[in-house]
């Protein structure tokens, strides 16, 4: 990461209210290409609200979101995806009865000929299978069978499919909400390796996790939210792990 470069994503003084609840109170952050930014905080700190504002689920009540230095209005998840922002939530949002390739291109099907209206084109399953296999190979994701429904795959494989699917269309930011939750050690390692690969390919990755070991191992920077405010930003390592935890819980380090 080059600190002098323009951040691919910048949030400036974000404000969000839900009735009497002030969920975000002037939160600012920057994410750069080729880095993993950890977004930390206890339950209710504002992490999920911030991610949903960036991903177009909620509009900001105040502040701004900038992509490559330009203010951007993200009125819906579809608008965020068109802008190059993809989000992988804990529920993964996979279709269990579909194959990895079908999950990748659901709503973005490859069909020909391109000059016809979309509803009159012929789907190309072969092209979608080929492109999905290429993405999985590039990201070093090994699956036993590409033609099997994802319902038959392990939790780690399903998580890898969801992350890989996000990279197909994300060209600016990939946000991951607890990507190793409920996974065993071996499957977690594979997901962490996938996140490292996303960073190596020049993506900006925002990682929400409660696993401090993963933060120290993987994140280039960590931002801590508490009660809707940004309370700290650190480069995570073993030496300041206790300081990060103290910021999260509001205790003295």
Write down the pLDDT at residue 112. 83
- Nearest Cα neighbor of 40 from 194, 188, 231 is 231
pTM of the predicted structure, to 2 decimals: 0.86
Exposed/middle/buried for residue 164 (C-beta within 10 Å: 0-12, 13-18, 19+): buried
**What span, in angstroms and rounded, lies between the C-alpha atoms of 199 and 201?**
5
Q: Note whether residue 2 is domain-resident.
A: no
Q: Note whether residue 180 is domain-resident.
A: yes
* Residue range(s) defining the domain that contains residue 50: 9-249
The number of folded domains in the chain is: 1
- Domain of residue 232, CATH code: 3.40.50.300
Write down the pLDDT at residue 253. 47
**What span, in angstroms and rounded, lies between the C-alpha atoms of 222 and 112?**
45
Answer for the pair 121, 112: CB distance below 8 angstroms, yes or no: yes
Query: How is residue 229 written in tokens?
Result: 């405010």
Write down the pLDDT at residue 3. 46
Give Cα separations from 150 to 98, 135, 195 (angstroms): 6, 16, 20
Write down the pLDDT at residue 117. 78
Q: Note whether residue 63 is domain-resident.
A: yes
Q: Note whether residue 83 is domain-resident.
A: yes
Q: Note whether residue 239 is domain-resident.
A: yes
Write down the pLDDT at residue 252. 56
Largest CA distance in the chain: 64
- HEC sequence for the chain: CCCCCCCCEEEEEEEEEECCEEEEEEEEEEECCCEEEEEECCCCCCHHHHHHHHCCCCCCCEEEEEECCEECCCCCHHHHHHCCEEEECCCCCCCCCCCHHHHHCCCCCCEECCCCCHHHCEECHHHHHHHHHHHHHHCCCCCCCCCCCHHHCCHHHHHHHHHHHHHHHCCCEEEEECCCCCCCHHHHHHHHHHHHHHHHCCCEEEEECCCHHHHHHHCCEEEEEECCEEEEEECCCHHHHHHHHHHHHCCCC
Q: Note whether residue 166 is domain-resident.
A: yes
- Nearest Cα neighbor of 33 from 214, 208, 171, 161 is 171
Q: Note whether residue 45 is domain-resident.
A: yes
How would you write the pLDDT of the chain (253 residues) with one tens digit per residue?
444 489 999 999 999 999 999 999 999 999 999 999 999 999 999 999 999 999 999 999 999 999 999 999 899 998 998 999 999 888 778 888 998 988 888 877 788 877 777 777 787 888 888 888 888 888 888 887 888 899 888 888 888 888 888 888 788 999 999 888 878 888 888 889 889 988 998 999 999 999 999 999 999 999 999 999 999 999 998 878 889 889 998 875 4
Write down the pLDDT at residue 1. 47
Q: Note whether residue 3 is domain-resident.
A: no
By residue count, the chain amounts to 253
Answer for the pair 249, 42: CB distance below 8 angstroms, yes or no: yes
């Amino acid at each position: 990461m080059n600190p002098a470069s323009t951040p691919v994503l910048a949030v400036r003084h974000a404000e969000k209210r839900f009735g009497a609840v002030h969920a975000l109170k002037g939160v600012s952050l920057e994410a750069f290409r080729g880095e993993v930014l950890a977004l930390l905080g206890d339950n209710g700190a504002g992490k999920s609200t911030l991610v949903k504002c960036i991903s177009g689920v909620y509009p900001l009540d105040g502040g701004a979101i900038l992509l490559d230095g330009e203010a951007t209005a993200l009125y819906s998840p579809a608008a965020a995806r068109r802008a190059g922002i993809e989000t992988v939530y804990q529920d993964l949002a996979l279709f269990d009865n579909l194959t990895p390739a079908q999950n990748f291109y659901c709503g973005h099907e490859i069909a020909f000929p391109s000059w016809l209206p979309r509803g009159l084109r012929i789907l190309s399953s072969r092209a979608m299978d080929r492109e999905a296999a290429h993405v999985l190979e590039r990201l070093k994701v090994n699956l036993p069978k590409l033609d099997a429904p994802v319902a038959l795959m392990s939790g780690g494989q399903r998580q890898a499919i969801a992350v890989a699917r996000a990279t197909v269309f994300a060209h600016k930011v990939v946000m991951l909400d607890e990507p190793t939750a409920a996974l065993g050690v071996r499957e977690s390692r594979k997901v962490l390796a996938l996140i490292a690969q996303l960073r190596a390919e020049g993506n900006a990755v925002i990682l929400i996790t409660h696993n401090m070991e993963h933060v120290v191992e993987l994140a280039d920077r960590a931002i801590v939210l508490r009660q809707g405010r940004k309370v700290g930003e650190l480069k995570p390592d073993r030496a300041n792990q206790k300081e990060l935890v103290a910021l999260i819980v509001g205790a003295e380090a």
